[in-house]
Copies of this chain bind each other. A is one copy, B any other.
Amino acid sequence: MEKKKRNTKTKQLVMSVLEKANAALCHEDIEKQLSGQLDRVTIYRILQGFCDDGILHKITSESGKSHYALCHNCSLEKHNDEHLHFHCICCDNIFCLEAPLVIAPLPAGYEARAVSCLISGYCRDCSGASRG
């Protein structure tokens, strides 16, 4: 039987940080924004819980660090993974892009269950004119 979840101040605090964010946040980002209000472990557990609930998207950067963004088109059963994530090598932010991802058919015998695609480069704020 599944544990019943509780709606705590602590979770609301983490959620408020995630809602304000305009890019995917890592544990460190969240901890800093809450500057000592919550224990590190608690933040880890809340993020994990939100992911289990299908509320959060988890994105692993090239460096192996986890980043989290609120799901917008996800259901509990299936995450809407078929969009791109973009890692800006200048400002170091990770964004969800609406651009669809097209994958050629896999070789015979392979069965896909999830897709994660991370493009790195320069984001809108850091590309072109801004860089010169």
Which residues of A line the B interface, CB within 8 A?
60-66, 84, 86, 89, 97-124, 127-128
Contacts and interface: CB of A to CB of B under 8 A. Distances in A.
Nearest to A58: B62
Given A62-B116, A117-B115, A103 B106 contact: no
What secondary structure prevails in chain A residues at the interface with B? strand
What is the copy number of this chain in the assembly?
2
11 contacts: A84-B103, A84-B106, A99-B105, A103-B119, A110-B119, A110-B121, A112-B119, A113-B121, A114-B121, A115-B118, A116-B118
A103 to B, nearest CB: 6
A102 B113 CA distance: 18
A45 B43 CA distance: 33
Given A102-B102, A107-B98, A89 B64 contact: no
B115 A128 contact: no
B89 A110 contact: no
A106 B97 contact: yes
Contacts of A107: 97-99, 124
Which 4 residue pairs spanning A and B have beta carbons closest together?
A: A64-B64, A109-B124, A113-B121, A112-B121
Nearest to A114: B120
